[in-house]
Structures are given as C-alpha cells and as structure tokens.
C-alpha cells in the first residue's frame, strides 16, 4: 500500500509521443499492491508500451478477473475502458466485448490463479478460438491475496514461505497455448523491461490471440530462498531465446544483427518484428521445436523467455467467423434488419 | 525554443557547457561562466558565442591529452558516491549550499510551518546573526538555487519566511549567549561597526575574548544603517539585532575613526579585525562635473546623509545613474524626499542590470522609469547651475568569450533635464589609513592580500572580512566571513594552526516512523509563490520611515512554508538491501532513479531515462549490485516526496533528514 499521493509534477524534459502525451499521461491511480510487487513493474511496462506506440487510451479496453493481478488495470491507463469481471471469466467478457466492438485493443490482465486454475477452461477456448486479445498473465506462482498457497503454475519441489514443498507438477501456460493454436506466445520477467516492453508492443499489434506469461515475483509470499519464482531464481535461470525489436510501419530498422541470426516477421498491418536469435537451434516459427525446447528447458530447470512462438499466418476469430468489418455496436437497425422485401426473397428461395 | 546548454532559474538564463570528464583537469569542471541574462534571445546568442569559443579549446585539450598519455580510449567509470562526505548531501540542499553562511533553510521553514517561530529565529541567528535584517534585505542567493525553480517555476520565498521568524518570535533575550564571567585575557580590536565585525564579536565574546569595536559613525550597523533606507529596513529592527550583540558585552568606541593602522597596532590588542566595508562611492569625472558639483551627489553618501538626517530635500527632477541596488535605493529615497520626476539611467541593457530583480520591480512599481543603454557624456549646466545631462545611446555586443562591449549607435545624443544627479555606479574600498610599510601586502586593485579561507592578511595579527576583504558584496557574505575570521582569530590567539579548519557538524536521522508513516510532510504543494503584502503606495511614498513591505501574516507564511520541498530529507540508498525490483524506478514522479551499467560520466548522464543535463547537480552512484548494474539517481529534480522509500519492499531507500551545521568558533 502507498498512502502518499504521487505528485503531478514530472521531469521538465519528459518527452512527448506523437499524440503529444507524456508517459505520465498513461498512468493510473496509485497502486495498492505490496511495495515491490512485480505486478507494478508490469503496469509500468504496459504504460511504456502504450506511450511508445502512441495509442490513445480510449482505443483500449482493460479486462480482468479476480486477484492481485486483476486489480492492476486500475494502476495504468486511467482513461481507458475497463471491466473487472468474475473470477476466471475474463475471457468470456472479452469475447463478448470483442464481438461488440472489434476495433478496440483488448488487454486481458489475469494471474496464475485466475488463468491456470479457476479460469483454465475459459483461457483454453479463448486461445483455441483466436480471440483477438493481448492476454497478460502476471504469474507469481502463489495465491497472494489468501496468504501464499501454491498456485497451479508453482513448480514441483518449490518451497512455500513457511517451508513446505509443492508436491504437484506445474501447468506451463505457454506450452499449452502453443498446443491450442495461439498465434503469439511469449514469456518474460517483470524485472526485465528491456525484454518486456518490445514484447508487449508486438503482442498488442498482433491480430489474434497473444499470450505473454510474465513471471512476476510476489515479494510478500514467494520471493524467498527455495522458491522458483523469486527475483534471484529467475535472474539466475532465465534463458532468453531471442532479443526482440518491434518496428512499427514506416520506421527504419536501426538494429543490425550478424547475418544468419536475424529473423524478420511481418505483422498484418505492415509492421515488422525483428528477432535476434540468441540460440542457434531455436526457431520461433516452428511449433514443434518451440514445444520441444520448452519441455527441455523445464527439465533442466531453466526458464525460457522472449518470443517463444509466432504464427504470422493465423486468422483471428473475427476473420474466421466472417464478422462484418463494421463493429457490431456501430450497426443500426437499418443494417441489421434486412427488411420485408429481402425476407420475402429468402422465403421464396426456400420453396 | 532552443534551450540547449541554457538553464533557466527564476527568470534568469545561465549558459553552461559540459566539459568531457577527462578534460576537466585542464578546463575545469564545466564551462559555466557568469553569463546570465533575463532574455531568452540574448541567452541564445551568448550560448552560441560560448560554444563556438570553447570548441577549439576542447579540441586542443583533447589533442593534448592524446599526446601526453596516449590512452584516450580507456573506459572510465563513475566513482561510487561517498555520502559520508558532508558536502555530498549538503549540496543536495540547494538553498543551504548556496547560502554563504549555510543557514539550514528547510529546517527553519519546517519550524515556521509548526508555528515555532522562536526556534526558527534561533536557527537563523546561529548561522546568519541578523535574521530580521536579512529577512528584509538579503540578496537571497538561496532563492535562485531553490529546487522549485527547476521543478515548478518560482522559488520558495525563503527570505520573506526568514522575516516571518523574526516578526513572530517571542522574546529571545534569554536564549542568547552571554560572555563568560571570566575573560580569557585576550583582547581583540574590531575596526568598523558593520555586520562582519559584529559577527566576529558575537562569536568571540562567548569564547571569553574582550572585544572592542571602533566605529567612525555615532552608531553601529555599518552599511545596514547608512546605506539601506528605513522604508526597506526599519530602524527598530536594525537596532534590536545590533543591540543583541552590543549587549553581550562588546566594548564600543563610536565616533572613533582609525586613521593609521601603523599606530593602532601599537595598542594592546592580540588581533585586529578590519571590517571597514567599501565606503567610497565611485565618482563620474566627465565634462561639467566640477562646475555643477553642488547638485551632483555620490549615491551612498547621499543615503548616509539621509540616514543621519543631514538631508531632507532634493530637486524636483532627479537622475540616478547606475543599475545596482544602491541606485534603486537612491531613486526611491528621492521620491520620498519630494522629487517629482525621478529617472534611472543605466549604461548596460536592462537585462544585465546588477540590482536584484525584486528591487528593480519595487522601483518600477513606484513608477520610476529606467533608461537602458545610455552612457553619460556630460553634465550640462548654466554657469554652475546643473540643468541636465547628455547621454550617448549604445548597444551591447558580445565577443566569442562572452565579453561585453558597449558600441555607440548612430542615434543623436539624448539630453535629459534635471536638478540633481545621484551617482550610484559602484563602490570602492578605502585603505588610505593603512600604511604600506607595516608588512601588510596589497595586491591587485590596491586591495589587501587576504587568504580566502582564513581571512588572514599577510600581517599575521590582522584579519579582514566583509566588503573590506574582496569588495562590495551583501550582508550575508559579511556574516559568513565573520564566522570564519572568528575561527581564525581564536586559533591564532591560541597558537593553533589556522589553516586547519573545523569540520561541519552533520546529522542524518531516518524519518520513518511506521510502515507508511513519515515524520515530515511529503505532500508537494502546487500553490504558486505568495506575494508579500505591501503598504498603500499613497501613504508609503510620503515618508522615508514607512516600511513598504508588510511581511507575510501567519496564514500566508504557513502556505508559503508548505511550498518547501524538504530537500534536506535525503534519499539514502543501501545497496545491501536492494533486490532490484524496480519499484522505485516505476514510481518516481520525476524519473530520477536508474539501474544500469556504469560507464564514463558523460555516457551515464546521456543514457539514463531522462538525460541529466544539469551538470551542476550530482548523480548519486551506488556500489555495484548483484546483477552487475549500478543505481544512478539524478539529484537535479528529485521532489523528495519519499515515494521511492514508500514503495521499496526492503527499506533499501530511506528518507533521512540531513542537518548540516557550519562550524563556528564555539562549536
């Protein structure tokens, strides 16, 4: 908790984006999460990404379920639309909202409990249906709001704050999402904004289901020796598969990579993702290899991060369902009701 | 608006150029010169000239360095900040650091906001000796330094809050130190009764010294009495604070001008302090000066005559020559003596006038016009009776080094009618009474050679301070000099090494009271600087004795005190506790905090989240952290709001009040 009001003053040299807004204009109310919570770093990364992309807040909807993670949309993008829904039901609400207005950018913010436990069915179907959403899992491996029980993503053998070991095997959300056909799957760490911010920007620009599983240490209940989701553990076992540059349309690619180590992935709107492969073996366009690498890493106690899998060919649910180009919420009676003549014609065709 | 290399501080633009770190030995830390102006366009021109001028110098220095050590490419790292050096945190408290006497400003402002005026007064009295006087007349070097000029706009009205402490204090006579009952047997002579001598007396009397003050005028106070008009500094305020020192047990010899130091040194004193000020006003020897002398007066002499009530009238039309504070006092005094048409005429551009901004404003508020770029050519007279003055119009031109020259324009000479002229174009020292064969060396400008740390002259027994040491400055400097000279005199009399200066007293205390409780008010007030109420002009202009500024009342003082950012509540960082969670980076409203790899200072300054261009402000550099990164905090625009400490899960950041007390002879 923080009781000090964040002063409105900002650095006199704070830069403005294309919309004439500063990063501070994308903030939310002051966080009520524990001091040092990884979720707050993720909020800061979301702010940074939206600022960098010059997205107007009114073009964004923040949707969440229940939990520490799901509180966090209050702490960024004050001016965006938002709905704090029922536990584990964020994907349903997102699906409905998406059908109503497919033009908005949907940020789903969930946690390991909200997604991997109570909401796992909803999560799976949203991925399978290619719901156009940036689905952020703020994954700390623990139930912080109820005093630190193991969650479904907690690693087997990892110790709780009170000393006992977790006896169950974890659910790996990225592996599951890749298997279910998600088009964009990444993993990152709340303490590494250099990786997280470009990943978020790319995910927001991706049309289709994009999952970012973000390891976000719980400083209160899961940041001790023996935990596999602590700052120290993740820093020690983090293995980044790629370094990512997100290049919006019309911008020159500045970073240069050694030949053979670079992969360019064009996105739907003409923007370009440039990946520097840190491991020669790894190919984020190969589904089978991605899953294999994730399995191997798990066996070796490593945490693979970066853009794990991308399928730029994927169609999003609106395209699959052939939904009208005009968002449904903008269609009036005239467009929705074909009229008596048309009805007579249809009826006649049935004869 | 192009403001590169320009820093705006309280309506003033300063030109500063960063010097690459490895060249600082040769070129100094930065190439900030005393180039400052109120006009942006002018500042931009100045900057161009400066940057161009220094380019070749930097280039030459670089070449030199390459040749001399051949390892120009060796990567350097910023050294870890040594926060145990008292000057590091002291420098963060911009106002206190800028104050020559290093008055703990935020400390007394907090006292004012708690209605503890007496305590606030005593904190001031300890450092600057004349809080009531300075609260009205100080040149306020603290205010342009105030952090608010960088984070908001206008500085806290520090000077006027000092006056509040003096205005609302209780009787402090019981709190003031007295001379010990036994003298230590040493006798000190103080020549000149101004603020410097009085400060020396105050500090030495409590140590048991027998101090004797020699003053040519009938009363003590020096320029505070003779040069500052009563409508700015009421006599009773002056008397009260001067008497505080006289009553401590100071022997006084008034109306005793010392005319020969050589003879005086034969008298029975262990040390002599010279605080005779800069009592000689500069004259203007141009055509007509001799003939029209009856109506041409030297500014400070004119003010002195008013103070001792030797003058009570002046002509209807008055020209005041000069752009300093004395000129402002002269023109406003003339109005009160009955002049109807008073004009100030300055050689330089308006923006470069030497007078404090607020004194210029005060004069202009009394409808006194100021003519800039007019160089006086001659006094016009009708058989000895002054009738006017002739001026040549000029234009200020700057060369590559920023040196100014005034070039005449093609305009016709300007003639301004007048009955009296007041010449306020500067002051000189007057040392005719010091013989040159007594072992007291004189240097440039015919000024005594004085050690800038010890204030000792080349005659070991004789010390200087105030304007007598290095020419005209402000009262606050005199007080600062006095404290240092007192230390030297004490060490000299006790046969100690006077070059060994005492360390300042420092104290660093955590303000954390509970999980989310801090014992200082960390709300950032968004209020604008409050204006000091003034007396009705119709009434004020009728008398020399009516104080123009009425001072803040208690409510206004409270509001103004809230504007203080508490810069002395330091952000203290403990590397061993930091888990690098980034919470402080994310929450800091002014993006001061950065975690990144160390490198040369120029690179670090460029690469942090928001480049740290204000090289006058330090970066707090941590030890290397477990991820091999270093924490860099740019002190420049830190609001001291405490959010970093509030959001830190491990207490690696803490808010700690830093009290810095400049050493006094008795501490």
Answer for the pair A219, A36: CB distance below 8 angstroms, yes or no.
yes
Q: Which of B32, B47, B69 is the last residue of a domain?
A: B69
**Of the candidate ranges A238-252, B219-233, B465-479, the one whose mean pLDDT is the lowest:** A238-252
Q: How far apart are CA B49 and CA B43, in angstroms?
A: 10
- Does B89 reside within a domain? no
Average pLDDT, chain B: 89
Per-residue pLDDT at B642: 94
Q: How far apart are CA B410 and CA A53, in angstroms?
A: 57
Residues 6+ apart with CB under 8 A from B49: B398, B399, B400, B401, B402
Contact B581 A10 (CB under 8 A): no
Answer for the pair A121, A110: CB distance below 8 angstroms, yes or no.
no
Position B483 pLDDT exceeds 50: yes
- Does B91 reside within a domain? no
Helices vs strands, H then E, count in chain A? 12, 13
- Does B339 reside within a domain? yes
Residues 6+ apart with CB under 8 A from B519: B511, B512, B513
Give the one of B151, B523, B610 whose C-beta lies nearest to A5's C-beta.
B523
User: Token pair of A187, please?
Assistant: 């993993």
Chain B residues with CB under 8 Å of A232 CB are: 579, 626
Instruction: Please indicate whether residue B304 or residue B15 has the higher confidence score (pLDDT).
Output: B304
Position B295 pLDDT exceeds 50: yes
How far apart are the two ends of chain A, measured CA to CA in Å?
Answer: 69
User: Token pair of B149, please?
Assistant: 């000029």
Contact A2 B613 (CB under 8 A): no
Give the residue extent of every domain in chain A. Answer: 23-330
The C-alpha torsion from A178 through A181 and A183 to A186, rounded to 10°, is: -20
Alpha-carbon distance B9 to nearest alpha carbon in chain A (angstroms) = 13
State whether B460 and B390 are in the same domain.
Answer: no
Q: Where are the alpha helices (DSSP H) in chain A?
A: 38-52, 68-71, 90-100, 112-116, 120-128, 173-179, 193-205, 231-237, 287-299, 317-320, 333-336, 340-350
Chain B residues with CB under 8 Å of A222 CB are: none
State whether B293 and B396 are in the same domain.
Answer: yes
H-run or E-run covering B570: strand B569-573
State whether B240 and B321 are in the same domain.
Answer: no
CATH of the domain at B250: 3.50.50.60
Position A284 pLDDT exceeds 80: yes
Cα distances (angstroms) measured from residue A46 to each of B27, B528, B591: 45, 34, 17
Q: How confident is the model at residue B110 (pLDDT cuts 50, 70, 90)?
A: very high
Residue A251 touches partner B, C-beta closer than 8 Å: no
Residue B543 backbone phi and psi in degrees, to 5: -140, 145
Give the one of B516, B579, B589 whose C-beta lies nearest to A231's C-beta.
B579
Per-residue pLDDT at B434: 93
Q: How far apart are CA B121 and CA B138, in angstroms?
A: 15
Per-residue pLDDT at B31: 47
Per-residue pLDDT at B667: 83
Contact A13 B648 (CB under 8 A): no
Give the one of B150, B641, B650 whose C-beta lies nearest to A7's C-beta.
B641
User: Token pair of B301, please?
Assistant: 């002499």
Per-residue pLDDT at B228: 93
State whether B302 and B373 are in the same domain.
Answer: yes
Q: Where are the alpha helices (DSSP H) in B247-396?
A: 261-264, 299-307, 325-336, 357-365
**Of the candidate ranges A49-58, A233-242, B29-38, B290-299, the one whose mean pLDDT is the lowest:** B29-38
Please choose, from the candidates B419, B251, B266, B354, the residue with its C-alpha nearest in 3D space to the C-alpha of residue B12. Answer: B354
Average pLDDT over residues B596-613: 90
- Does B223 reside within a domain? yes
Contact B580 A231 (CB under 8 A): yes
- Does B405 reside within a domain? yes
pLDDT tens-place string over residues A28-64: 999 999 999 999 999 999 999 999 999 999 999 999 9
Answer for the pair B505, B539: CB distance below 8 angstroms, yes or no.
no
Give the mutation candidate from A4, A43, A52 for the B interface (greatest B CB count, under 10 A): A4
Per-residue pLDDT at B405: 86
For chain A, percent of residues with pLDDT exceeding 70: 88
Answer for the pair B343, B378: CB distance below 8 angstroms, yes or no.
no
Cα distances (angstroms) measured from residue B43 to each of B8, B141, B167, B370, B519: 10, 21, 39, 21, 42
Please choose, from the candidates B235, B181, B130, the residue with its C-alpha nearest in 3D space to the C-alpha of residue B478. Answer: B130
Q: How confident is the model at residue B18 (pLDDT cuts 50, 70, 90)?
A: low
How many domains does one find in chain B?
Answer: 3
Q: Which of B446, B476, B493 is the last residue of a domain?
A: B493
Q: Which of B428, B443, B461 is the last residue of a domain?
A: B428
Residue A12 touches partner B, C-beta closer than 8 Å: yes
Q: How far apart are CA A90 and CA A72, in angstroms?
A: 14
Alpha-carbon distance B55 to nearest alpha carbon in chain A (angstroms) = 25
DSSP-assigned letter for residue B209: -
Q: What is the 3-state secondary structure (H, E, C) of B161-189?
A: HHHHHHHHCCCCCCCCCCCCCCCCCCEEE
State whether B271 and B287 are in the same domain.
Answer: no
Q: Please calculate the CA angle B282-B284-B288 and round it to the nearest 5 degrees.
A: 150
Position A24 pLDDT exceeds 50: yes
- E-state strands within A200-324: 209-215, 238-240, 242-247, 262-266, 272-277, 303-310
Give the one of B516, B522, B590 whose C-beta lies nearest to A10's C-beta.
B590
Average pLDDT over residues B454-466: 95
Per-residue pLDDT at A252: 44
Q: How far apart are CA B46 and CA B52, in angstroms?
A: 10
Residues 6+ apart with CB under 8 A from B557: B112, B161, B164, B168
Q: For residue B637, how many C-alpha atoms fall within 13 Å in the half-sphere facing its CB?
A: 24
Q: How confident is the model at residue A335 (pLDDT cuts 50, 70, 90)?
A: confident
State whether B221 and B318 are in the same domain.
Answer: no
Answer for the pair B572, B508: CB distance below 8 angstroms, yes or no.
yes
Neighbours of B504 (CB within 10 A): 16
Give the one of B523, B581, B626 whose C-beta lies nearest to A219's C-beta.
B581
**Of the candidate ranges A80-84, A177-181, A207-211, B606-610, the one whose mean pLDDT is the lowest:** B606-610
Position B74 pLDDT exceeds 70: no
Per-residue pLDDT at B515: 81
Position A258 pLDDT exceeds 60: no
Beta bridge partners of B66: none
- Does B85 reside within a domain? no
Give the one of B585, B586, B643 whose C-beta lies nearest to A4's C-beta.
B643
Per-residue pLDDT at B192: 94
State whether B265 and B221 are in the same domain.
Answer: yes
ipTM of the complex, rounded to two decimals: 0.87
Please choose, from the candidates B81, B36, B520, B613, the residue with its C-alpha nearest in 3D space to the C-alpha of residue A11. Answer: B613
Per-residue pLDDT at A237: 85
DSSP B414-455: EEEE-SEEEE-S-EE---TTS-TTSS--B-GGG-B-B-TTT-
State whether B299 and B420 are in the same domain.
Answer: yes
Q: How far apart are CA A202 and CA A204, in angstroms?
A: 5
Q: At what angle do helices B105-113 and B554-562 cross, to 10 degrees?
A: 130
**Of the candidate ranges A190-194, A213-217, B205-209, B492-496, the one whose mean pLDDT is the lowest:** A190-194
State whether B421 and B308 are in the same domain.
Answer: yes
Position B656 pLDDT exceeds 70: yes
Match 């360390």 to its residue by tokens.
B503
Position B72 pLDDT exceeds 60: no
Per-residue pLDDT at B571: 96
Answer for the pair A209, A177: CB distance below 8 angstroms, yes or no.
yes
Average pLDDT over residues A173-200: 93
Chain A residues with CB under 8 Å of B526 CB are: 8
Residue A125 touches partner B, C-beta closer than 8 Å: no
- The residue of chain B with its CA nearest to that of A216 is B581
Average pLDDT over residues B388-417: 88
Cα distances (angstroms) measured from residue A235 to each of A142, B205, B626: 18, 64, 10
Residue A6 touches partner B, C-beta closer than 8 Å: yes
Per-residue pLDDT at A254: 43
Residues 6+ apart with CB under 8 A from B471: B278, B427, B428, B429, B445, B447
Residue A22 touches partner B, C-beta closer than 8 Å: no
Per-residue pLDDT at B517: 87
Cα distances (angstroms) measured from residue B367 to each of B370, B389, B422: 9, 21, 18
**Of the candidate ranges A69-73, A266-270, B198-202, B641-645, the one whose mean pLDDT is the lowest:** A266-270
Position A120 pLDDT exceeds 50: yes
Alpha-carbon distance B596 to nearest alpha carbon in chain A (angstroms) = 11
Give the mutation candidate from B590, B595, B613 for the A interface (greatest A CB count, under 10 A): B590
Q: How far apart are CA B572 and CA B22, in angstroms?
A: 29
SS3 B600: coil
**Of the candidate ranges A19-28, A132-141, B283-292, the one whose mean pLDDT is the lowest:** B283-292
Neighbours of B313 (CB within 10 A): 8
Position B49 pLDDT exceeds 90: no
Per-residue pLDDT at B11: 54
Match 């020549």 to its residue by tokens.
B191
Position A5 pLDDT exceeds 50: yes
Residue A11 touches partner B, C-beta closer than 8 Å: yes
User: Token pair of B162, please?
Assistant: 């000092």
Position B29 pLDDT exceeds 50: no
Q: How confident is the model at residue B217 (pLDDT cuts 50, 70, 90)?
A: very high
Alpha-carbon distance B533 to nearest alpha carbon in chain A (angstroms) = 28
Average pLDDT over residues B609-613: 90
SS3 B71: coil
Domain of residue B37, residue span = 6-69
Position B20 pLDDT exceeds 80: no
Chain B residues with CB under 8 Å of A191 CB are: 580-582
- The residue of chain A with its CA nearest to that of B579 is A231
Alpha-carbon distance B146 to nearest alpha carbon in chain A (angstroms) = 15
Per-residue pLDDT at A299: 86
Chain A residues with CB under 8 Å of B637 CB are: 11-12
**Of the candidate ranges A303-312, B42-51, B155-164, B198-207, the one whose mean pLDDT is the lowest:** B42-51
Answer positive or negative: Cα dihedral of B548, B552, B554, B555: positive
Give the mutation candidate from B7, B151, B587, B606 for the A interface (greatest A CB count, under 10 A): B587
Neighbours of B1 (CB within 10 A): 5
According to CATH, what is the number of the domain A23-330?
Answer: 3.40.50.970
Contact B587 A6 (CB under 8 A): yes
- The residue of chain A with its CA nearest to that of B586 is A44
- Does B599 reside within a domain? no
Residues 6+ apart with CB under 8 A from B155: B10, B142, B143, B144, B145, B146, B148, B149, B529
Which residues from B are below 8 Å from A when comparing CB atoms? 150-152, 516, 518, 522-524, 526, 579-583, 585-587, 589-592, 610-611, 613, 626-627, 637, 639, 641-643, 646-650
Residues 6+ apart with CB under 8 A from A351: none
Position A111 pLDDT exceeds 90: yes
Q: How far apart are CA B572 and CA A61, in angstroms?
A: 40
Answer positive or negative: Cα dihedral of B613, B614, B616, B622: negative
Q: How far apart are CA B599 and CA B603, in angstroms?
A: 6
Q: For residue B616, how many C-alpha atoms fall within 13 Å in the half-sphere facing its CB?
A: 20
Position B441 pLDDT exceeds 80: yes
User: Token pair of A11, please?
Assistant: 């650095």
Give the one of A35, A191, A193 whose C-beta lies nearest to B648's C-beta.
A35
State whether B415 and B480 are in the same domain.
Answer: no
User: Token pair of B172, please?
Assistant: 């402090």
Contact A3 B516 (CB under 8 A): yes
Chain B residues with CB under 8 Å of A218 CB are: none
Position A207 pLDDT exceeds 70: yes
Position B331 pLDDT exceeds 70: yes
Please choose, from the candidates A269, A318, A268, A315, the residue with its C-alpha nearest in 3D space to the C-alpha of residue A101. Answer: A318
């Amino acid at each position: 908790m923080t009781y000090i009001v964040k002063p409105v003053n900002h650095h006199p040299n704070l830069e403005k984006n294309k919309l004439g807004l500063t990063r501070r204009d994308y903030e939310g109310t002051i966080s009520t999460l524990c001091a040092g919570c990884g979720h707050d770093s993720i909020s800061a990364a979301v702010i940074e990404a939206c600022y960098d992309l010059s997205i107007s807040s009114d073009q964004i909807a923040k949707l969440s379920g229940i939990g520490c993670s799901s509180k966090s949309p209050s702490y960024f993008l004050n001016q965006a639309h938002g709905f704090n829904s029922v536990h584990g039901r964020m994907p349903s609400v997102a699906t409905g909202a998406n059908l109503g207005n497919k033009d908005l950018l949907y940020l789903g913010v969930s946690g390991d409990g909200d997604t991997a436990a109570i909401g796992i069915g909803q999560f799976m179907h949203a991925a399978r249906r290619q719901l156009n959403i940036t689905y952020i899992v703020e994954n700390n491996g623990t139930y912080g709001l109820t005093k630190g029980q193991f969650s479904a993503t907690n690693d087997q053998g990892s110790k709780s704050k009170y000393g006992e070991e977790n006896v169950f095997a974890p659910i790996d959300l990225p592996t599951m999402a890749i298997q279910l056909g998600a088009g964009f799957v990444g993993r990152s760490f709340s303490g590494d904004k250099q990786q997280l911010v470009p990943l978020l920007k790319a995910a927001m620009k991706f049309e289709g289901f994009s999952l970012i599983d973000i390891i976000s240490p719980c400083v209160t209940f899961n940041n001790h020796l023996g935990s596999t989701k602590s700052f120290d553990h993740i820093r020690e076992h983090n293995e980044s598969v790629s370094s990512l540059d997100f290049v919006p349309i019309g911008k020159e690619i500045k970073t240069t990579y050694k030949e053979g180590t670079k992969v360019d992935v064009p996105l739907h709107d003409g923007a370009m993702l440039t990946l520097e492969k840190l491991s020669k073996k790894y190919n984020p366009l190969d589904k089978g290899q991605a899953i294999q690498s994730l399995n191997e890493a798990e066996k070796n106690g490593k945490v693979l991060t970066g853009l794990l899998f991308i399928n730029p060919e994927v169609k999003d649910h609106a395209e699959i369902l052939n939904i009208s180009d005009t968002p449904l919420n903008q269609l009036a009676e005239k467009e929705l009701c074909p009229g008596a003549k048309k009805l007579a014609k249809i009826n006649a065709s049935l004869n | 608006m192009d403001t590169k290399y320009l820093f705006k501080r309280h309506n003033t633009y300063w030109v500063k150029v960063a010097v690459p770190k490895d060249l600082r030995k040769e070129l100094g830390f930065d190439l900030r010169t005393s180039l400052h102006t109120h006009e942006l366009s002018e500042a931009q021109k100045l900057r161009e000239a400066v940057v161009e001028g220094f380019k070749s110098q930097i280039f030459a220095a670089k070449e030199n360095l390459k040749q001399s050590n051949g390892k120009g490419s060796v990567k350097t790292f910023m050294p870890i900040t040594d926060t145990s050096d008292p000057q590091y945190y002291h420098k963060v408290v911009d106002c206190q650091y800028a104050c020559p006497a290093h008055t703990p400003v935020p400390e007394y402002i907090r006292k004012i906001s708690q209605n503890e005026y007496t305590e606030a007064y005593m904190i001031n009295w300890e450092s600057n000796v004349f809080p009531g006087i300075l609260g009205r007349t100080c040149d306020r070097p603290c205010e342009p330094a105030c952090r608010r000029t960088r984070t908001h706009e206008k500085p806290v009205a520090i000077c006027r809050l000092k006056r509040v402490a003096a205005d609302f204090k209780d009787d402090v006579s019981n709190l003031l130190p007295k001379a010990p009952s036994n003298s230590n047997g040493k006798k000190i002579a103080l020549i000149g009764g101004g603020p410097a001598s009085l400060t020396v007396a105050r500090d030495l009397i409590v140590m048991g010294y027998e101090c004797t003050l020699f003053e040519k005028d009938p009363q003590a106070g020096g320029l505070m009495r003779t040069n500052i008009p009563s409508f700015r500094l009421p006599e009773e305020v002056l008397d009260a604070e001067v008497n505080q020192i006289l009553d401590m047990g100071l022997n006084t010899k008034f109306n005793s001008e010392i005319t020969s130091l050589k003879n005086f040194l034969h008298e029975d004193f262990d040390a002599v302090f010279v605080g005779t000020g800069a009592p000689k006003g500069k004259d203007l020897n141009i055509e007509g000066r001799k003939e029209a002398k009856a109506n041409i007066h030297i500014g400070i002499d004119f003010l002195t005559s008013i103070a001792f009530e030797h003058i009570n009238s002046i002509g209807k039309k008055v020209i005041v020559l000069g752009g300093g504070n004395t000129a402002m006092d002269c023109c406003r005094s003339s109005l009160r003596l009955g002049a109807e048409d008073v004009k100030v005429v300055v050689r330089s551009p308006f923006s470069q006038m030497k007078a404090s901004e607020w004194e210029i404003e005060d004069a202009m508020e009394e409808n006194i016009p100021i003519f800039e770029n007019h160089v006086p050519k001659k006094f016009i007279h009708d058989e000895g009776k002054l009738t006017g003055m002739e001026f040549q119009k000029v234009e200020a031109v700057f060369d590559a080094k920023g040196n100014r020259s005034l070039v005449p324009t093609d305009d016709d000479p300007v003639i301004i009618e007048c009955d009296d002229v007041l010449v306020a174009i500067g002051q000189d020292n007057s040392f005719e009474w010091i013989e040159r064969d007594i072992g007291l060396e004189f240097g440039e400008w015919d000024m005594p050679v004085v050690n800038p740390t010890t204030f000792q002259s080349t005659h070991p027994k004789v010390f200087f301070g105030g304007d007598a040491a290095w020419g005209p400055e402000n009262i606050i400097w005199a007080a600062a000099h006095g404290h240092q000279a007192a230390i030297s005199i004490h060490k000299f009399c006790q046969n100690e090494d006077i070059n060994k200066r005492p360390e300042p007293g420092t104290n660093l205390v955590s303000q954390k009271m509970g999980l989310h409780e801090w014992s200082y008010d960390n709300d950032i007030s968004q209020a604008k600087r409050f204006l000091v109420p003034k007396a009705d002009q119709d009434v004020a202009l009728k008398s020399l004795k009516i104080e123009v500024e009425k001072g803040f009342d208690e409510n206004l003082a409270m509001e103004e005190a809230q504007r203080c950012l508490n810069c002395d509540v330091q952000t203290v960082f403990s590397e061993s506790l930091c888990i690098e969670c980034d919470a402080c980076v994310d929450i800091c409203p002014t993006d001061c905090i950065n975690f990144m790899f160390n490198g040369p200072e120029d690179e670090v300054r460029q690469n942090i989240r928001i480049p740290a261009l204000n090289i006058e402000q330090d970066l707090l550099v941590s030890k290397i952290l477990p991820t091999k990164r270093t924490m860099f905090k740019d002190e420049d625009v830190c609001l001291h709001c405490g959010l970093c400490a509030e959001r830190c899960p491990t207490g690696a950041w803490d808010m700690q009040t830093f009290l810095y007390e400049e050493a006094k002879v008795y501490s």
